[in-house]
Structure 1
Amino acid sequence: MYKKVKPWVDMVELDHKILAFWKKNRSFEKLRAIIKGRPPWSFLDGPITANNPMGVHHAWGRSLKDAFQRYWAMNRRDLRYQNGFDCQGLWVEVEVEKELGFKTKKDIEAYGIDEFVNKCRERVQKFSEIQTQQSIRLGYWMDWENSYYTMSDENNYTIWGFLNKCHDRGFIYKGHDVMPWCPRCGTGISQHEMHEGYKEVVHESVFLRFPVRHGSKEALLVWTTTPWTLSSNVAAAVHPDVDYVKVKQGDWIYYLAEALAKDVLEKQGSYNVLEKLKGKDLTGITYEGPFDELPAQQKTGLRHPVIPWDDVSDAEGTGIVHIAPGCGKEDFQLGIEFDLDVISPIDEAGVFVEGFNELTGKQAADIAPLLFVDLEKKDLLYNIAPCNHAYPHCWRCNEPLLFRQVEEWFIAMDEWRNAIMANVKQVKWIPSFGFDLEMDWLKNMQDWMISKKRYWGLALPIWECDACNHFHVIGSKEELKEKAVAGWDEFEGHSPHRPWIDAVRIPCDKCGNTATRVPDVGNPWLDAGIVTYSTLNYNKDRKYWEKWIPADLVLECFPGQFRNWFYSLLAMSTMMENIPPFKTLVGHALVNDEHGEEMHKSRGNAILFEEAADKMGCDVMRWIFFRQDMSHNLNFGYTIAKEIRGRFFNTLWNTYGFFVNYARLANWTPPNKATPVKERPDFDRWILSDLQLLIEHSHQAYQKYDLKRLVIAAEDFMETFSNGYIRHNRNRFWKVGNVKDSTMAFETLYDCLLAFIRIIAPMTPFMTEEIYQNLVRSHDSTAPESIHHTEFPKADKSIIDKGLSEEMDAVTRIIRLCHSARERAGIKIRQPLSILTISGSTRLEKKVAERFTHILMTFLNVKKLEILEPGTPKPAIPAIYTAKPKFKAIARKIGEKTQALKIYSIEYRDELTEYVQTGKVFRVILDGDPVTLDPDDFVMEERQADKIAFAEEKGLWVSFDTNIDEELKIEGLMRDLLRHLQVLRKQAGLEIEDRITLTWQSKEPLIGDIFHRWEDFLNAELLCIQMKEGDIECNGIDIQLGDVRVKVLIKNAGSQTFDRDKSADTH
């Protein structure tokens, strides 16, 4: 027998109940046994960084992954369920440094690289366990005991194999370049990582003079936002085809771009244009550098030429760019092209090295004021101005980056980027713009910088000869052991990480001298990009790997991943086997707060996963995620959660409760042989037909990874099911003499509920499990133990009746339009009206209005239905307008008197409207004071004339006669009273079968009329065995009905026995 259903469900309590049920019954393990050996469906998990507890943004992707895997398991496909943890790299190192209070790399080395690496490993182990428990809390079913870790030996050694293949093709090289550099972390930042760190900041920019040689007080006027780089200036660049001017201002003559002259010069006084010329006319000129006295400058030839550069812009600055090849990536390339000297001023901590006089030992980021003073002494300072611009910051520690000349290791991309792009074309990209973004990245990306001058990460398997600098890339642990000539005993037994791997030496295969491993570790995207191979026994069981790759699905948050994880997966798989690693890639956007603002701990608007789970429940959280268009950022918060719970989950729970409570009263359970659908009434066949369409729709949505589409369809179906089907048919479940009809109603309701919860079970695993256990397992112990062990519903096409569905859709359309008319007229549905007139736009609407007249009259609470021919002209309805104040705009003018205006606009609606319609400024008295108002402060809203409620849509129109006589008024008040009394029954904790006694007290004759005229109806609706008028001294409840009031007292009179065979039809 079904268990009673509470009228309200605690979603959080339900989560914990179901989690305990799954754990006790080993539900996940049993599911794996059910699907084992079935055709595979392969999901490849993008590893979550095991570095901190989850936020709600992590839960979006994990909810999506879980839903799709649950769906395919219900369709009897075998899955691996392997979760991944990203373990290595700066994200972990920076947090460990914070824990230990470290400021620089020197602190790490003093502490001990081995101890630091072990601390990083411990942090990963700690937070991977926390994230595991949080994911379980979310309802995410994975093989948690067999998650992969990118710090594993298998993962690291498989990357060695990849790099070895790259080396065999001649793609690995050591490059000298100027790279973005984090002075705090002491490492270069790759192009892949740069895009994530740009921030809008204000820097002090400087305009300064570069005096032209062999000229008297002639200067190039130059602008820079990075004053520290001026110490290393060797050239200036102009655009050869841009127009420049030679101007005189004060004692100086300046050269600068014509388009910028006015903005730059006018702030410092008047000027005269002496000459116009092209940028190419300036090339070849030489100038005196601003810091030629520095020893580092003296070591160069001090040429300081003006060079042409097509990338110079005349949109900002002065149109003349200072060039310091040791401090900028583009500058460095120009240095190569024009054979310029390279001055590298800073060390890895961003501190000036020897050769820079008083700048030596100072942080580059701190010296701007010192430079400005020096420039002013030399009469080279023209102006200092704040500049708001996007500047790169470290993506992990948020420190501003500097540009520094370094040696790094790269993979050359030109010879195989086309092969990667060919594989990109074989993938289905959702959203589709992902394809364009990935192709654009591949076409324009530079060589892949794979090295980091850090500690916790992949030990690059590059051994460089101490004598001849030739290098060799080791491809496996076995190869290293075979080649090792020293340090193997020290390394053996350790993971391939620093510092242990650093001890191993091999012979140089070119000159025979000893080769040492380079100290660099790898870019962390190598770690995640190899998982297509490292997690699937590629090195040991190739047939097993071929079973699961290419994966059917990869799914991750897409911002940044086109140049990071998606790219590294594609590139590494292209190198390893020249195949795409996945068939479909699904990306989702970012999570913002409910106001659309980015979530940040510093702003106080970030929501941790556990906080959200414990406030709204995981089913509600997941539904928020599934309801969102994945290509757009999601606004997440508790207001949205409350709306979703009320709109969907409460409706589903109430529908489930309605079925169970009435089925208990009727002692109904599903029969072994149900009534054939074709023998059931129209309403049953209609909702069952729509159910089959929903099942078809759900398969398409899951398989096309479009859960928003399914969520909207599920909500629409539940709304129709609850407020359409059940509302009209509820009397069939209660005191019904026709047992066959009651049985068919129960069968239909049961079939729909059971199929519906299986459709949404992958998305809402908790509530659907709770409902399933009561609907099915409570009376059938042979049924699958969990809803997640059942098979996904299959549509029965023989039940689909599109003609009937079209007819019921037309009925629904009519009802919705009628509700709109009532709402516009301000008349509740509980108030009966005398006549409803309908004119359809098609014959179908006229047909259904005639066929379902009784249904429409019942639903719409009217006494008579008048049906006109399609196309009948609508009644002439005079337009009446009301002036509505724009309160937000007016509040800025009248302040605290806004509240008084709100009251005035209600009490003097018509007078206020007349004032506004004159189009002239007018005055009103608010709180005793005259206030001037403008017609622009109001908006004119159309309202319906009295005595009619009208609405139209696409040729269909409906019109109510809103004249309410005494009989209609009494019935309306009765229905309002009935609603209040039903609420009081619930508030008193009465069960649905409990009978009551009711005492009422009122001095109003109208109240007496209601109770006397409608006594039998009220008794039947309320299960009231005694209704009487009397004095109520205590415990009574006052009810306001329009202008009259009544006090009532309800008492429990015991439970009702219910026999469907003998009960009379009183409803």
Structure 2
Amino acid sequence: MGKPYDFKEVEAQVLKLWENKNIYQKVKDKNKRGKPFYFLQGPPYTSGKLHIAHAWNNSMKDLAMRYKRMKGFDVWDRAGYDMHGLPTARKVMALHKLKMKEDIEKFGVANFIKECIKFSSEKAELMNKDLWRLGVWMDYKNAYLPIKNEFIEAEWFLVKKAEEQGRLYEGEKTMTWCPNCATAMAKHECDYQEIEDDSIFMKFKVKAKEDEYLIIWTTTPWTIVFNLAIMVNPDIDYVKVEVGKEKLIVAKALAGVFIQGVANKKFKILEEFKGSKLEGLEYEHPWNNKLPFYKELKKKHPKVHTVVLSTEYVDVSSGTGLVHCAPGCGPEDYEVGYKNNIPPFNNLDEHGVFPKEAGKFAGLEARKDDKKFTEELKKNGVLIAVTKVKHDYPHCERCSTAVVFRKTKQWFFKVEDLKEEMIKANQEIYWVPKAGQNAFHSWLDNLRDNSITKQRYWGTPVPIWRCNKCKAYEVIGSADELKKRAGEVPDNLHKPWIDKVTFKCKCGGVMKRIPDIMDVWIDAGSASWSCLYYPQRTDLFKRFFPADFILEAKEQVRGWFNLLMVASMIALKKPSFKAVYMHGMLTDVEGQKMSKSLGNIISPYELIDKHGADTLRYYMGETKPGVDMNFSWEEAKLRFKNLQVLWNVHNYLIDLTTTYKLKPEKIDTRKIGLEEKYILSRLYSIMKEVEERQEKYLLNELTPLIGDLFLDLSRDYIQFVRDKKDKQLVVNALFECLINIVKILAPNLPFITEAIYQNLKNEYGLKEESVHLCSWPAHNEKMINPSVEEEVRVAKEAISLILAKREEKGIGVRWPLARAEIFIDNPNVLKKTEELVKKQTNFKKLLVNKGKTKVEIDTTLTPSLEQEGFAREIIRRIQALRKKAGLKRNDRVRVVIETEFELEKQYFEELKEKVGASKLEFTKKSDAKSEFESKAEVRKKKFRFVIIK
């Protein structure tokens, strides 16, 4: 047999072959006149090493692209990365011991940007190498990089389009804000985590009413500073209840739960009414006299500190049925405030700290100092109860800091009125799984105007220039346009160089760029056209756009999928992708999220070093779309063992053709037996299924199908035909199966298939230089025979049952027995494969009857059966010794068998042939010696076997 499967050697040699022979480029050149297929790479972030989810994700992308190349498509496969934003900025800040934005200014913004460019560029190069090692073929030499001017201009193009359509505006809104990163966050950048907080029940005194209170519940005590209204649902029943000397207003459905359960007090209902009756009721804030801004707010906005109505955001699922409303502290509160002309007041600074105007609260931090606010409420006599509550709360996805809410001035894209168009467009997109389409529909249905600006340094500069005199602004859509306005453009369009570019306003003032940078979502959202060098070039855009296929994790429903849709609908008025494969998230074997704190992170390098890149691709690619994957080393190991089986099949074929001096020939269907009919039908039916599923992007179903096929080839067909005399027929069938398996498996497992192909090419003179230069093979519909497959399936079940009975009786399969009887549901089917079953189970006679499944066997060993059994045992022992001696199948040797046992002469010739003996000697005593000998006892008969080369 050939060399065992050494994945390290195999994968190293294949990578060398691809590089030395420039195979990737040859595939590209071969297909350049083919039909266009646009794969759009979802850009991984260049802030660190490739992680296991990247490996899973990109190997599946590679699978889809390799199939399309084999089908002759001209595949647009430009690699790409996310580079701007906080992840890189933080890494660079850590390298240079910079903690705050102020430290960056001291370090020098130009120096900082140069360091960010250097860092992200170096990481991109490392990731290129890692992905190549994984067998992922993309155009790495021309990867799209957001730090390049061409990409920056592609984003400016988007902003210009938004301005032209009246979709760009500046506004004050309550924004999710990361106090650690000191920047606004879009909805899709929030990671919701379950946390435990103190929740408080407190009372607001009804104005001009003695001892009458509105009761609210909140999990964010710090926001009470910014309370400007109380929301009630107009359709819900409320009650005024007497508790001691006080009158409390709560929802009727929650009165008992709150007063008896939380406050632990008795109550009496005084009045019942609908929430609509409470509209406009004024109340007093407990800190009216401590915080001067309330009076000014009330003066300008009469509805401040009154009850307002909301059917959307008030229910009786928890709390009191009255909801504390701080329009400056959340999107829902903002909306209610906006409808009632109540301002989004919030004067936290960029680090979530209360300013000096907040009086005694000055210097306190939002969220972190919740207990201090609770304590103050207690001192003021308005705190009723504190309870613990577990709830989902947004955190910064980059630094995991719990966010706060802050009123800021930002630039926005107006997209809410595009919802229906996007939802309609989504119906035309092909999703795997289908549930992804529904999830995306739900996301789009709740879409809000997107903020596009950040108050940082590392990112694409916002192309808005504002006049220092009249405050008019102008949006610049390209470097050429800027050059026409300003006369010159810096070589690098990043801050701080772009900030030096000014030009005159119509009023005579000076137009200066606003200091903001773009939110990184603009980078990702613009990728669909910037990847095609648009708008600088139009030829590629016309040929390829929109993307035929994208593939990312399910979390991208609120991330990249959303960003692509919004950006292209604004810039191009159509969606940017046609089909999506959405995989799940990666967890450990127990289903826990992988994290450094739990110590359960798996590195792709660890898996590749242990079992190889093909094992990673094989194992991880089988996970159902949209379903989380619980990583298991044991499962990975099983896939590696399957690869060993595939490798051994190819070794077996080459060994067979070498031994018998044969070459594969075209199969003569007139000569094939049941075994060939079965395996060829299996081959072509699987080939057909695999192609159908490839076309539907059912990527996870491919390798299991093909894996079952090559396991059948090894465990069934090769076992069935080991003693078949027509070796040419066996070689022909084996080669037909193996070469097609290698081709249809090449997109999934590019290394082992390439290595096997190269060995077959060397042995049999195959035409193509690489398996990846081969066209996708066509199946032979005429050879698909479901009836034969069913017959052999039933036969395999019978074989399994009979062998189990043998094992139960303690009689190995090498010992022939006279008779077996099997009762089975479909005896007529089994009778068609009776000879196969007898041969595989080593029975002279098989009786097949209809009935409840069971097997009975005659265990009597007659002298003739015993002789045959001993012959088989002797063959096995000598073959094991040959293997130990490193002999090839056609190596002839002298074999000496020292034993008291007398084997009948009728078995001598068969024995001699099967052990490859030039001379076979049976003797009771021998002086023969060799380094290759062994002893054995079989059924109380002693043997010494000697092989002499």
User: For the residues of structure 1 that align with 2:64 and 2:337, how far apart are their CA atoms?
Assistant: 53
Secondary structure of 1:207's match? Answer: strand
Residue 514 of structure 2: aligned partner: 518
Residue 719 of structure 2: aligned partner: 727
Cα shift at 1:403: 0.6
- Answering whether residue 124 of structure 2 is matched by residue 132 of structure 1, we say no
- Answering whether residue 149 of structure 2 is matched by residue 147 of structure 1, we say no
Cα shift at 1:537: 3.5
Residue 856 of structure 2: aligned partner: 960
Residue 844 of structure 2: aligned partner: 863
Deviations 1:263-284 (CA, angstroms, capped at 9, x unpaired)? 3333544312142423344444
Partner residue of 2:761 out of 776, 790, 793? 776
Change (3 A) 1:508 1:981: farther
1:373-392 alignment runs, 5 A limit: 373-392=375-394
Tell me whether 654-663 or 990-999 shows the greater mean CA deviation.
990-999
Residue 295 of structure 1: aligned partner: 292
Cα shift at 1:1012: 10
Partner residue of 2:453 out of 451, 454, 462? 451
Residue 208 of structure 2: aligned partner: 214
User: For the residues of structure 2 that align with 1:77 and 1:234, how far apart are their CA atoms?
Assistant: 61
The amino acid that maps onto 1:393 is H
Deviations 1:531-578 (CA, angstroms, capped at 9, x unpaired)? 222222333442332112233322222x23223322232333333443
8 Å Cα contact 2:824/2:851 also seen in 1: no
User: For the residues of structure 1 that align with 2:97 and 2:790, how far apart are their CA atoms?
Assistant: 70
Cα shift at 1:11: 1.5
Change (3 A) 1:815 1:331: same
Cα shift at 1:873: 4.3
Residue 218 of structure 2: aligned partner: 224
Residue 507 of structure 1: aligned partner: 504
8 Å Cα contact 1:777/1:783 also seen in 2: no
- Answering whether residue 689 of structure 2 is matched by residue 691 of structure 1, we say no
Aligned residue-pair number: 936
Change (3 A) 1:174 1:829: farther
Cα shift at 1:428: 1.9
8 Å Cα contact 1:75/1:792 also seen in 2: yes
User: For the residues of structure 1 that align with 2:526 and 2:690, how far apart are their CA atoms?
Assistant: 34
User: For the residues of structure 2 that align with 1:826 and 1:149, how far apart are their CA atoms?
Assistant: 68
8 Å Cα contact 2:415/2:566 also seen in 1: no
Cα shift at 1:128: 0.7
User: For the residues of structure 1 that align with 2:572 and 2:358, how far apart are their CA atoms?
Assistant: 52
Cα shift at 1:400: 0.7
Residue 309 of structure 1: aligned partner: 310
Change (3 A) 1:36 1:1028: farther
Deviations 1:74-127 (CA, angstroms, capped at 9, x unpaired)? 222222331111211223223333333333322222322222222221221111
The amino acid that maps onto 2:795 is V
Cα shift at 1:66: 1.5
Residue 788 of structure 1: aligned partner: 772
Deviations 1:818-847 (CA, angstroms, capped at 9, x unpaired)? 4566678887645654423345655xx526
1:634-783 alignment runs, 5 A limit: 634-646=629-641, 648-670=642-664, 674=666, 676-732=668-724, 736=725, 741-780=726-765, 783=767
Cα shift at 1:653: 1.5
User: For the residues of structure 2 that align with 1:93 and 1:834, how far apart are their CA atoms?
Assistant: 79
8 Å Cα contact 1:245/1:275 also seen in 2: yes
Deviations 1:975-994 (CA, angstroms, capped at 9, x unpaired)? 67765665555455444445
Tell me whether 618-627 or 365-374 shows the greater mean CA deviation.
365-374
User: For the residues of structure 2 that align with 1:565 and 1:583, how far apart are their CA atoms?
Assistant: 14
Residue 395 of structure 1: aligned partner: 397
- Answering whether residue 631 of structure 2 is matched by residue 626 of structure 1, we say no
Residue 354 of structure 2: aligned partner: 352
The amino acid that maps onto 1:961 is I
Tell me whether 415-424 or 40-49 shows the greater mean CA deviation.
415-424
Residue 70 of structure 1: aligned partner: 66
Change (3 A) 1:427 1:341: closer
Tell me whether 512-521 or 977-986 shows the greater mean CA deviation.
977-986
User: For the residues of structure 2 that align with 1:80 and 1:1027, how far apart are their CA atoms?
Assistant: 69
1:1027-1042 alignment runs, 5 A limit: none
Deviations 1:741-785 (CA, angstroms, capped at 9, x unpaired)? 3222222222221222112111111111111112123442x7222
Deviations 1:936-988 (CA, angstroms, capped at 9, x unpaired)? xxxxxxxxxxxxxxx3xxxxxx5222545576788778767765665555455
User: For the residues of structure 2 that align with 1:72 and 1:284, how far apart are their CA atoms?
Assistant: 65
Secondary structure of 1:333's match? Answer: helix
User: For the residues of structure 1 that align with 2:120 and 2:181, how far apart are their CA atoms?
Assistant: 19
User: For the residues of structure 1 that align with 2:675 and 2:583, how far apart are their CA atoms?
Assistant: 40
Tell me whether 266-275 or 136-145 shows the greater mean CA deviation.
266-275
Residue 11 of structure 1: aligned partner: 7
CA RMSD, Structure 1 to Structure 2 (Å):
3.2
Residue 578 of structure 1: aligned partner: 573
User: For the residues of structure 1 that align with 2:478 and 2:746, how far apart are their CA atoms?
Assistant: 45
1:868-879 alignment runs, 5 A limit: 868=849, 872-874=850-852
User: For the residues of structure 1 that align with 2:769 and 2:629, how far apart are their CA atoms?
Assistant: 35
The amino acid that maps onto 2:733 is T
Tell me whether 36-45 or 182-191 shows the greater mean CA deviation.
36-45
Cα shift at 1:248: 4.0
Cα shift at 1:350: 0.5
8 Å Cα contact 2:113/2:458 also seen in 1: yes
8 Å Cα contact 1:1037/1:1047 also seen in 2: no
8 Å Cα contact 2:895/2:948 also seen in 1: no
1:254-653 alignment runs, 5 A limit: 254-266=248-260, 267-278=262-273, 279-292=275-288, 293-301=290-298, 304-310=305-311, 311-340=313-342, 342-484=344-486, 491-494=489-492, 496-509=493-506, 511-557=507-553, 559-646=554-641, 648-653=642-647
Secondary structure of 2:74's match? Answer: coil
Cα shift at 1:715: 2.3
User: For the residues of structure 2 that align with 1:1012 and 1:246, how far apart are their CA atoms?
Assistant: 109
Secondary structure of 1:44's match? Answer: coil
Deviations 1:585-629 (CA, angstroms, capped at 9, x unpaired)? 222222222333222222211112211111110111111133222
8 Å Cα contact 1:171/1:413 also seen in 2: yes
User: For the residues of structure 2 that align with 1:1035 and 1:722, how far apart are their CA atoms?
Assistant: 29
User: For the residues of structure 1 that align with 2:881 and 2:102, how far apart are their CA atoms?
Assistant: 73
Cα shift at 1:225: 1.0
8 Å Cα contact 1:599/1:606 also seen in 2: yes
Secondary structure of 1:275's match? Answer: strand
The amino acid that maps onto 2:157 is G
User: For the residues of structure 2 that align with 1:826 and 1:448, how far apart are their CA atoms?
Assistant: 73
The amino acid that maps onto 1:241 is D
- Answering whether residue 741 of structure 2 is matched by residue 846 of structure 1, we say no
User: For the residues of structure 1 that align with 2:351 and 2:747, how far apart are their CA atoms?
Assistant: 51
Structure 2 length as normaliser, TM-score? 0.91
Cα shift at 1:250: 4.7
Using the aligned pairs only, state the percent identity: 30
User: For the residues of structure 1 that align with 2:269 and 2:783, how far apart are their CA atoms?
Assistant: 89
Secondary structure of 1:121's match? Answer: helix
Cα shift at 1:142: 2.0
Q: 5+ residue gaps in structure 2? A: none
Deviations 1:409-453 (CA, angstroms, capped at 9, x unpaired)? 111114433333443333222222222222332232011211111
Tell me whether 820-829 or 293-302 shows the greater mean CA deviation.
820-829
Cα shift at 1:175: 1.4
User: For the residues of structure 1 that align with 2:744 and 2:734, how far apart are their CA atoms?
Assistant: 15
Partner residue of 2:78 out of 77, 82, 86? 82
User: For the residues of structure 1 that align with 2:535 and 2:234, how far apart are their CA atoms?
Assistant: 56
Residue 915 of structure 1: aligned partner: none
8 Å Cα contact 1:392/1:401 also seen in 2: yes
Secondary structure of 1:731's match? Answer: coil
